[in-house]
A and B are shown apart, each in its own frame.
Chain A
Amino acid sequence: MSLTVSNLSAGYDGTPILRDVDCTVEDGEIVGVVGRNGVGKTTLLKSVMGLLKPEAGAVQFNGEDVTAESADVHARSGIGYVPQGRDVFPGLSVEQNLLIGENIGAGEETLYDRVYEYFPILEERADQDAGTMSGGQQQMLAIGRALVGNPDLLLVDEPSEGVQPSIVQSITEDLTRINEELGTTILFVEQNLSVIQGLADRCYAMDHGRMVDELNGEALADRDQLEEYLVV
């Protein structure tokens, strides 16, 4: 697995959001993108996913240029997507939501056993309407749905948003386990410091649609330095 984003510019209806963004994710890594509201984190993930057509630049996945492909092709080639606000399908049961995720990834293999191991609540509530679950449970379902088809790369958009703190901690641990046990590479965007520090191997900082810094090791462990990119 490898993901390379080069000189990416994207926006909505002619309003530019991302400008000349470069970033790379190597096989097996957990890479974070930190930044305030509105700096372009979600736009970056949507562009990588193929949900938003970039105006310029390129997205390479496993060495192939996939910039022009639509999101369903990205998904089937092995990118799992956990959207901001989770976007589980209301009116469909938990199990049916997971079924939709089976399309992700090229393989025939599905990971129901693993998904139920990480998130037992999804098995207990298999028949419940996904729209009636709590924020934390929906987040688990959204991760499970993106994981069940065994993707190579997981894109996770603000896993802590709208989720109570105790659950945030456990979701962070679950994502780490998924990475370690299944070898799934993870690119996530986040504003919650504990999640960033608990999860990321390294981290990009974004501001005004540009990548302004890259933080490793000590810099990533330094709360004050990270906070710089989050304080308004």
Chain B
Amino acid sequence: MIEVAATPLQLSAPSLGALLFQFLNSFGFIILATVGLAIIFGMMGVINLAHGEFILIGVYGTALTYHAGVPLPLAMVAGVVVTTIFGVIVERTVVRHLYDRLLDSMVATWGLALVISQLLLIVFGSSLDSISTPMGSVSYGPFSSSIYRSIFLPIVAVAVLGGLYVLFTRTEFGVKARATIKDPETARAMGVDTDRMYVSTFAIGSALAGLTGALYAPALGSITPNRGSTFLVEAFVAVVVGGPSVIIGTLSASAVLSVFNATGSFFFGTFIGQMLLLLVAIVALRLLPDGITGYVKDWQQRRRAEQ
């Protein structure tokens, strides 16, 4: 998160700027942490509780390649590739047996998460050397924030959502994947190789987790085997608050949650910011049990029924 140099309780122009950057930082982080989980949940009805560890594999893949002397952008590509391959193996061996078995999938992937983080600990030790954040920082008055985290990553996050929107609404693969999710039996009867659609969709979710890990490898400070939960908590909350529609849900939940997270973090520190995030999630679930997009869908249906 952003280091706050002074007590910023008076709202000056620089502190408003800092608040905005804090918001963008949080917004980008929540989207990127969420999107892989949201794809796999929204398209396949599986909650991947090892999602944080998938991201961590992206972090480790990137960091290890980078420390071996490869330039950072290429190391990031390596992180994505490693995570994608790992995801395909997990899908073929574990997850394929658990489609539409929400609770079973949660238990199995939770177990997988424990195994991954312990393996990382045993194989690579308690931490890896950190990677310095590229692009420097922007300062205004007493504040400064990282250009990489507060400008570059939010832009990448929105671009990723845009890319997914195009993939799932404008391409033949996307249309077939959505048909498979809605009605696998009929899709199969139309000649769609549904098995391949499931692997591909899970691979995309894994690749997105790997991308998030790769992008945050130089922004984490310390790289330790327990960092997965940092990502999972926010992703889980955002998926639940966002509801069934993957892209709009992720976008709207990230926007709402990061407003509270950023405001809380900015005025009272990151711990309170995190608390506020969870509180908002609880309140949101009480009021909108199907998430933001579930509520919007209901509302549209009611309006159509009235007409």
Q: Which residues of A contact B (CB under 8 A)?
A: 49, 51, 70-72, 74-76, 81, 83, 87, 89-92, 96-97, 99-101, 103-105, 145-146, 149
Contact = CB atoms under 8 A, between A and B. Distances in A.
Contacts of A149: 191
- Of all A-B residue pairs in the complex, the 9 with the closest CB atoms, nearest first, are A103-B191, A75-B191, A71-B188, A81-B189, A87-B186, A76-B191, A96-B175, A71-B189, A89-B179
B173 to A, nearest CB: 11
B175 A72 contact: no
B179 A51 contact: no
Given A91-B182, A104-B191, 15 more contacts: A71-B185, A71-B188, A72-B192, A76-B191, A87-B183, A87-B186, A92-B175, A92-B179, A92-B182, A97-B179, A100-B187, A100-B192, A103-B191, A105-B191, A146-B190
A104 B189 CA distance: 9
A201 B194 CA distance: 35
B193 interface: yes
A104 B176 CA distance: 13
A100 B190 CA distance: 7
B172 interface: yes
B25 to A, nearest CB: 34
B188 A70 contact: yes
Name the interface size band of chain B. Answer: 10 to 19
B191 A72 contact: yes
Interface of B: 172, 175-176, 178-179, 182-183, 185-194
Contact of A103 (B183, B185, B186, B192): B192
Contacts of A90: 182
Contacts, number: 62
21 contacts: A51-B185, A51-B188, A70-B188, A72-B188, A72-B190, A72-B193, A75-B189, A81-B189, A83-B186, A87-B183, A89-B178, A89-B186, A91-B182, A92-B178, A92-B179, A96-B175, A99-B175, A100-B179, A100-B192, A104-B190, A146-B190
A87 B182 CA distance: 10
A100 B189 CA distance: 10
Contacts of A51: 185, 188-189
A57 B111 CA distance: 43
Contacts of B182: 89-92
Nearest to B196: A72
Contacts of B179: 89, 92, 96-97, 100
A49 B185 CA distance: 11
Contacts of A97: 179
Contacts of A70: 188
Given A51-B185, A89-B183, A99-B172, A81 B178 contact: no
A166 to B, nearest CB: 25
A76 B185 CA distance: 15
B129 to A, nearest CB: 47
A204 B187 CA distance: 28
B305 to A, nearest CB: 12
Contacts of B186: 83, 87, 89
A103 to B, nearest CB: 3
Contact of A75 (B172, B176, B178, B190): B190
A100 B188 contact: no
Contacts of B185: 51, 71
A43 B176 CA distance: 26
Nearest to B190: A100
A49 B193 CA distance: 14
A83 B191 contact: no
Contacts of A49: 189
A74 B192 CA distance: 11
A210 B209 CA distance: 53
A75 B179 CA distance: 15
Highest count of chain A CB atoms <10 Å: which of B176, B185, B189, B194: B189
A83 B178 contact: no
Given A49-B189, A99-B172, A100-B175, A72 B194 contact: yes
A81 B192 CA distance: 13
A125 to B, nearest CB: 16
A91 B189 contact: no
A44 to B, nearest CB: 14
Given A72-B194, A89-B183, A90-B182, A83 B175 contact: no
A220 B159 CA distance: 63
A101 B187 CA distance: 9
